[in-house]
Structure 1
Amino acid sequence: MAIAERIKELRIQKKMTQQELATKVGLTYMQIGKYETQKSNPSSEVLQRLAKALDTSTDYLMNGSQDKAASAQLTDKELIRQFKEVEQLDNEDKHLVKTFLDAFITKRHVQKLAH
């Protein structure tokens, strides 16, 4: 996957229009369109602003490493290590871990609403 496809994919995942991304980065929507169609490549400065706006790393935008994208979004190294271990589990065990996480997060949301 090329940098153009990664920019577009992340923008769509974040439910942003080209105009919204352009505004965040300080460009025009036409320039974002050029990046997404490989008609132009962002400068290193613009690449940094795009990475920040898309909550990823410049490494991910340029090279596409999923580990680097996850690491860029997560700062807790122990949590990253644990997630990598969970990925190695069979589907049944992964489902169990996800169920526990969902239950814990839901409990915290309910507690916040109660206060």
Structure 2
Amino acid sequence: MKQLRIEKKLTQQDLAVVIGVHRSTIGNMEDNRSKITKEQAQKIAKVLGLKEAEDIYVLGG
């Protein structure tokens, strides 16, 4: 997830604002310290241009 976010030139803060969480939550997701809800996965997938929200889980956060 982190690599895709960087490729899209998004900061953790940018992604956090779009999906409605705190910036530190994005960092925790990227480091696998926070579980990603289905709703969050769907929003993240859309922002990062992934076809399926499940791809977020495959990326390991």
TM bucket (normalised to shorter chain) is: 0.7 to 0.9
Matched residues in 2 for 1:62 and 1:34: separation? Answer: 14
Q: TM-score, normalised by structure 2?
A: 0.84
Q: TM-score, normalised by structure 1?
A: 0.47
Over aligned residue pairs, what C-alpha RMSD do you find?
A: 1.2
Gap regions ≥5 residues in structure 1 = 1-6, 65-115
Matched residues in 2 for 1:46 and 1:59: separation? Answer: 11
- Quote the residue 1:31 is aligned against: 25
Gap regions ≥5 residues in structure 2 = none
Aligned length: 58
The structure with the largest alpha-carbon Rg is 1
What code does the residue aligned with 2:12 have? Q
State the SS of the aligned residue for 2:34: coil
- The structure whose residues are more often helix, as a share, is 1
Q: Percent identity?
A: 36
- Quote the residue 1:4 is aligned against: none
By relative contact order (CA 8 Å, sep 6+), the higher-ranking structure is 2
How many angstroms does 1:58 deviate by?
1.3
